[in-house]
Amino acid sequence: MGPLQIKELLQQTPDAKSVTLKGWVRTKRESKNAIFIALNDGSTIHNIQAVAAPGQFSAELLLTVTTGSCLKITGQLVASQGSGQAVEVKIDDIFVYGTADVDSYPLQPKRHSLEFLREIAHLRPRTNTFGAILRIRHSLAFAVHQYFNEKGFFYLHTPIITASDAEGAGEMFRVTTLDLDKLPRTDEGVINFKEDFFGREANLTVSGQLEGELGAMALSKIYTFGPTFRAENSNTTRHLAEFWMIEPEMAFFELEDNMELAEDFVKYVIRYALENCKDDLAFLENRLAEEDKNKPQNERSIPLLEKLNFVVENAFERLTYTEAIDILLKSKPHKEKKFQYPVGWGIDLSSEHERYLVEKHFKKPVILTNYPREIKSFYMKLDDDGKTVRAMDVLFPGIGEIIGGSQREDNYEKLLERVHEVGIDPEVIWWYLETRKFGTAPHSGFGLGFERLVLFVTGMSNIRDVIPFPRYPKSAEF
Ligand code: ATP
Ligand code: MN
């Protein structure tokens, strides 16, 4: 099935057997005694070195072998003369699949800024940095499925087109087949969505949770892992308009079980990356260290592997929202009025507050629980005091919120009351409410933004750089 990948070839014994390489040229170097071609096929961060003798190939052919061109090389796998690699290929023949004109191919071998690479998202997977990120992203996704499978969860495919914005999680993208130039109107003059494709207003999902809960109330433990859309016009380094969310939902789990699962799950997938993405992580760690050289000592980051190992090896700090507010009120930046946003019981913590708790105060991931009901979603279970809900946010260094979750309200009357309170029409989510009428049970779940996880593991600083083709305001080119 296809040729051996470079990753596999690099691990073989150099016994002069005949091999075929297929890949893209990273560099070509000509010296007096030899011509060196570094070839990469994306299977690994490492290139394989292919060597030809001067005069072995015509100048005409060699002119087409340039950075970015795609080749098939046949030759013999031999022990490398040079340092840096164990094996290399002594070239017998070169076939050029496709050339890459030196004057127009943008990825010449030099350092490119991440901003520039975003403009050439169709080519950036061919760089070392993005190759590493994409391979790590794959491994993390694989680990997610492996974890839940091992723990007896079922992968539930929740809809991408939904008719409910019950979550109120953010602005939604509308889905319609109506002719925008000739919108049908009712007698009252409002748009008549009865004539739209679904006979009602429809949007792209902001979360699979509500449907996920329906699955949990039958299969006990489910998870979703799918695309999620939020038309939030926030141009931050942590928000995308299209991202991937992982949402486990478990019957018979209370808030404590939910926290236990979230911590165990995140540690598992990070550990998986540590064990299976060693070369790519080492490359990214070096890259960060290089970047840090230009920064003052106190702004330098902890080495990537040290940071990841620390998270895997240490228990997350757990405290309530109320305790967190107390810490913030007693904090130096609060007393010195250094926070941009005010602190007080009832506020929605902003990123600066979350990061103070995680990075300055506890210096480790934090799970905050029992938030004021006013700032959290209607479906979260009310605490006995009636003031807070059984919510939990997991906060990570450098990122802030990576997971948001809760124990769900399982009491029909209380849930209905909250639905009215926040102004949702109960008719629209009658099916959701019915789970509380028919065989209700305590249950919990959470949502992990997959790109925020990839951001953390790769040590990148902009979420647009950890998804192949990012979607954000004014950008959907590729
Ligand atoms: P934030 O306050 O950071 O905007 P949120 O409270 O809106 O997050 P939730 O609705 O709880 O987030 O969604 C669950 C998880 O999905 C978050 O913890 C985060 O990891 C991720 N997430 C939310 N919005 C985005 C986005 N626009 N882009 C990427 N990931 C996101
Ligand atoms: Mn948000």
pLDDT (average), residues 190-212: 95
Our mutation pick for probing the ligand 1 site, out of 165, 172, 238, counting the most ligand atoms within 8 A of Cβ, is: 238
CATH of residue 369's domain is 3.30.930.10
Q: How many domains does the chain have?
A: 2
Whether 83 and 21 map to the same domain: the answer is: yes
- Predicted local distance difference test score (pLDDT) of residue 168: 57
Closest Cα to atom 16 of ligand 1: 449
**The dihedral sign for the CA sequence 372, 374, 378, 382:** positive
CATH of residue 68's domain is 2.40.50.140
Whether 216 and 277 map to the same domain: the answer is: yes
Whether 76 is in a domain gets the answer yes
Alpha carbons 301 and 58: distance in angstroms, whole number: 49
Q: Which residue has the tokens 């609060």?
A: 334
Whether 187 is in a domain gets the answer no
Alpha carbons 289 and 444: distance in angstroms, whole number: 40
Number of helices (H), then strands (E), belonging to the chain: the values are: 14, 16
Whether 95 and 212 map to the same domain: the answer is: no
The CA radius of gyration of the chain, in Å to the nearest whole number, is 27
Domain membership of residue 147 as a residue range:
126-171+206-465
Please report, to the nearest 10 degrees, the dihedral formed by the alpha carbons of residues 131, 137, 142, 143 taken in order: 120
Residues written for the chain? 478
**The dihedral sign for the CA sequence 385, 388, 390, 395:** negative
Whether 344 and 382 map to the same domain: the answer is: yes
Six token digits for residue 92: 């017998």
Whether 85 and 163 map to the same domain: the answer is: no
Using an 8 Å Cβ cutoff, are 72 and 97 in contact? yes
Burial of 391 (0-12, 13-18, 19+ CB in 10 A): buried
Cα 60 to middle of ligand 1, angstroms:
54
pLDDT at residue 166 greater than cutoff 60: no
Six token digits for residue 431: 């099916």
| DSSP per-residue string spanning 250-298 | EET--HHHHHHHHHHHHHHHHHHHHHH-HHHHHHHHHHHHHHHTTS-GG
User: Which of 110, 137, 155 is the last residue before a domain boundary?
Assistant: 110
pLDDT (average), residues 90-107: 97
Closest Cα to atom 2 of ligand 1: 401
How far is C-alpha 306 from the chain's CA centre? 20
**Nearest bound ligand to the CA of residue 351:** 1
pLDDT at residue 326 greater than cutoff 60: yes
pLDDT (average), residues 109-126: 95
Alpha carbons 365 and 401: distance in angstroms, whole number: 10
pLDDT at residue 450 greater than cutoff 90: yes
Using an 8 Å Cβ cutoff, are 77 and 101 in contact? no
User: Which of 58, 85, 110 is the last residue before a domain boundary?
Assistant: 110
Alpha carbons 301 and 288: distance in angstroms, whole number: 8
Alpha carbons 19 and 3: distance in angstroms, whole number: 9
How far is C-alpha 428 from the chain's CA centre? 31
Whether 427 is in a domain gets the answer yes
Q: Which amino acid is at 451?
A: E
pLDDT at residue 167 greater than cutoff 90: no
Average pLDDT in the chain: 95
Closest Cα to atom 18 of ligand 1: 403
CA atoms within 13 A on the CB side of 23: 27
Six token digits for residue 388: 């807070």
Whether 229 and 283 map to the same domain: the answer is: yes
Cα 240 to middle of ligand 2, angstroms:
10
Whether 295 and 323 map to the same domain: the answer is: yes
pLDDT at residue 1 greater than cutoff 70: yes
Whether 319 and 412 map to the same domain: the answer is: yes
Q: What is the pTM of this model?
A: 0.96
Using an 8 Å Cβ cutoff, are 345 and 370 in contact? no
Q: Say if ligand 1 is within 6 A of residue 255 CB.
A: no
Whether 475 is in a domain gets the answer no
Whether 474 is in a domain gets the answer no
**List of residues 6+ apart from 128 with CB closer than 8 A:** 45, 283
Q: How confident is the model at residue 199 (pLDDT cuts 50, 70, 90)?
A: very high
DSSP letter at 422 equals T
Using an 8 Å Cβ cutoff, are 370 and 390 in contact? yes
pLDDT at residue 2 greater than cutoff 90: no
- Predicted local distance difference test score (pLDDT) of residue 165: 60
Alpha carbons 243 and 226: distance in angstroms, whole number: 8
Cα 407 to middle of ligand 1, angstroms:
18
Whether 265 and 361 map to the same domain: the answer is: yes
Cα 170 to middle of ligand 2, angstroms:
6
Closest Cα to atom 19 of ligand 1: 449
Q: Say if ligand 1 is within 6 A of residue 245 CB.
A: yes
Q: Which of 315, 319, 207 is CA-nearest to residue 266? A: 315
Q: Say if ligand 1 is within 6 A of residue 447 CB.
A: yes
Cα 407 to middle of ligand 2, angstroms:
19
For the chain, give percent helix, strand, coil, nearest 5.
35, 25, 40
Q: Say if ligand 1 is within 6 A of residue 451 CB.
A: yes
Q: How many CB atoms lie within 10 A of CB 294?
A: 8
Burial of 122 (0-12, 13-18, 19+ CB in 10 A): exposed
Give the lowest-confidence range in 87-91, 118-122, 271-275, 288-292.
288-292
Alpha carbons 328 and 340: distance in angstroms, whole number: 13
Whether 306 and 447 map to the same domain: the answer is: yes
- Predicted local distance difference test score (pLDDT) of residue 297: 84
Whether 134 and 264 map to the same domain: the answer is: yes
pLDDT tens, position by position, 44-76: 999 999 999 999 999 999 999 999 999 999 999
Q: Say if ligand 1 is within 6 A of residue 206 CB.
A: no
Whether 176 is in a domain gets the answer no
Alpha carbons 140 and 143: distance in angstroms, whole number: 5
Q: Say if ligand 1 is within 6 A of residue 239 CB.
A: yes
Whether 143 and 54 map to the same domain: the answer is: no
Q: Say if ligand 1 is within 6 A of residue 249 CB.
A: no
Give the lowest-confidence range in 19-28, 233-242, 320-329.
233-242
Whether 185 is in a domain gets the answer no
Cα 311 to middle of ligand 2, angstroms:
24
What is the CA angle 300-365-250, rounded to 5? 145
Using an 8 Å Cβ cutoff, are 180 and 240 in contact? no
Using an 8 Å Cβ cutoff, are 35 and 73 in contact? no
- Predicted local distance difference test score (pLDDT) of residue 170: 61
Whether 194 is in a domain gets the answer no
Percent of the chain clearing pLDDT 70 (strictly above): 99
Q: Say if ligand 1 is within 6 A of residue 452 CB.
A: yes
